[in-house]
Amino acid sequence: MRLKTVDAVRAMAIVLVVLGHALIYANSGRFLMGFIYSFHMSLLFVLSGFVAAASWKRSDVEPDLGFAVRKIARSARRLLVPYAICGAVVVPFVNAFLTHRYAESFLNGWRNAFMLNKFLWYLPCCFFLVCIFVAVSLAARHGSALRRWVVVGAAFGMVVALRLLLPGVDYIRSVMSYFLPFFAGVWLWSRRDVVLEPSPWLVAVTSVVFVVLATTYASLPEMPLMVKGIVKPLAGIAALFPMMAVVRRLRGALADGVANLGRITLFLYCFDFCATPITVWYILPHGVASSCAVAFGVVTLGVFLKLAFEYAILPEIKRVAS
């Protein structure tokens, strides 16, 4: 069973991802860009951890090694398949289209997508975190809560050790950076009543914390990396509660529409890497307003293409195949 409010918050986060990319490509709205980048990816990882814990806890099957393998295989299909397809085709194509140096651009596109992890990094990072979560849950499934979090701490220590041993591997850096928000989401599932129905005082406090952290991050672009590593996860966690309060006020068709948008987050994330830079290259937006228009257009086109594929193209493919 899906949670509409979680999907709705996820929709808000992916729209901010697209807007952040539009601002970067258009080189405009520095403060707004910094404000968005202070929390939007951390928020997505909080939601990913929340959903991963929900999927694990709600299963009627007793967790064992086979159950864990099925969970990992399902995550691989959802995360690594689109990562491989987009990294092999979409990113190199866009790189070649924008530079007009086709052979060199395709090689650079593959290098940036797979070796340097500069594009689509959220997908493999989320997959690795899901694998860590499954391993931790399996290892501590019969122990106390204290034992579970000791195992989580040990897993984080291993990630940090790998980061120190292999400092040039960006995949490990991404996992280490978003370990805290992901497992904060896992823990918040055990407090889901508070998350799904936050009290007014909790919304007020977290709103203040979120605004202070995001504003500080946006105002101090030269902030040390260690400080950023603390501010961004905390801002993402704090942002969850005011956003949850906002989406809970949505009603009717609007609520359903926003929730449906959140269900195609992965598609929009991949589509964004193709559509946003090309759109910015053609339109050449100047300022925040035009960048917002680009982001709105990319999201709208992505939703249209997803619906067209699901309700028109895919049924036809299945009919021909049968």
- The listed range with the strongest mean pLDDT (80-84, 183-187, 219-223) is 183-187
Helix axes 252-262, 4-26, angle to 10 degrees: 70
Whether the Cβ atoms of residue 147 and residue 140 lie closer than 8 Å to each other: yes
The yes-or-no verdict on residue 283 having pLDDT over 60 is yes
77-91, 112-126, 167-181: segment of lowest average pLDDT: 112-126
Whether the Cβ atoms of residue 123 and residue 80 lie closer than 8 Å to each other: yes
pLDDT in tens, 30-67: 999 999 999 999 999 999 999 999 888 776 666 777 88
Distance CA 125, CA 123 (A): 5
Residue 66, pLDDT score: 82
pLDDT in tens, 153-170: 999 999 999 988 888 778
Cα angle 151, 228, 35 (rounded to 5 degrees) comes to: 120
Residue 321, pLDDT score: 62
